Amino acid sequence: MSKLTPREILQAGRVVPVIAIDDIETAVDLAHALVEGGIPTLEITLRTEHGLEAIRRIKREVKGAIVGAGTVVNGEQLKQVADAGAEFAISPGFNIKLAQAAQTMAGSIHMIPGIATPGELMLALEHGIDTLKLFPAEVVGGKAMLKALYGPFADVRFCPTGGITPQSAPEYLALPNVLCVGGTWLTPKDAVKNRDWNTITKLAKEAAALQPAK
């Protein structure tokens, strides 16, 4: 179990990269490049067959990385990523079964569920979870949605993900209920495939330097 709280995990960097590992041999070097650039919180998705092994390797070999799992959609996967060493798990949505699994495993892994509606948000609160992902952020209203949710749910904090760019990120970061943003732009497929780690580190440094819009 991570000693960090979910909010501390998300606040460790301005951006949480959403990472799909296509070649397991790139996982550790990719993680090193991101951490070197000032992006320590890494969401390794289960979208490819290498997700669990990538979590294991990065957790074991990359000092300073805060390793989590993404695209966790059921209790079985939640247990698998916890066993692999993930410190947190992020889901694209939330339902009662996943909420119950998260509550059962609260002592071994942090759950940061994705929500798109006030109802899902209230389900999370009922199960003691107040740090969430808004997904897919741009599709469900983006900044306007977050501003609307802040009224009745001022104590809830978010990592909006989905359609966010380096250009739009500062406007999200300026909102009082946003801790960070999630995005895929830090790990371009061509750069990873070509093992262009300097480019990855450069993108990470730029992301780490993002400031809230004034």
Q: What is the pLDDT of residues 28-67, one digit of tens each?
A: 999 999 999 999 999 999 999 999 999 999 999 999 999 9
* 120/96 Cα distance (integer angstroms): 9
pLDDT-derived band at 87 (thresholds 50, 70, 90) equals: very high
Q: Tell me the mean pLDDT in the region 114-136.
A: 97
Nearest CA to 88 among 73, 104, 108, 103?
108
Q: Which of 25, 43, 147, 206 is catalytic?
A: 43
Strands 15-19 and 41-45: parallel
Pick from 53, 66, 60: which is nearest to 22 by CA? 53
Q: Give SS3 for 131.
A: strand
For the question of residue 133 being annotated catalytic, the response is yes
pTM of the model: 0.96
Q: Which of 59, 87, 133, 143 is catalytic?
A: 133
Band of the pLDDT at 214, cuts 50, 70, 90? confident
Assess contact for 74 and 99: CB atoms under 8 A: no
Which strand (E) or helix (H) includes residue 90? strand 88-90
Contacts of 121 by beta carbon, 8 Å cutoff, 6+ apart: 115, 132, 149, 153, 156
- Paired tokens of 56: 């294991």
For 6-208, CATH number out of 3.20.20.70, 1.10.3720.10, 3.40.920.10, 3.40.190.10 equals 3.20.20.70
Residue 69 reports pLDDT greater than 90 = yes
Residue 1 has pLDDT above 80, yes or no: no
d(CA 165, CA 186): 10
User: Which of 98, 97, 175 minimizes the C-alpha distance to 142?
Assistant: 175
Active site residue 43: yes
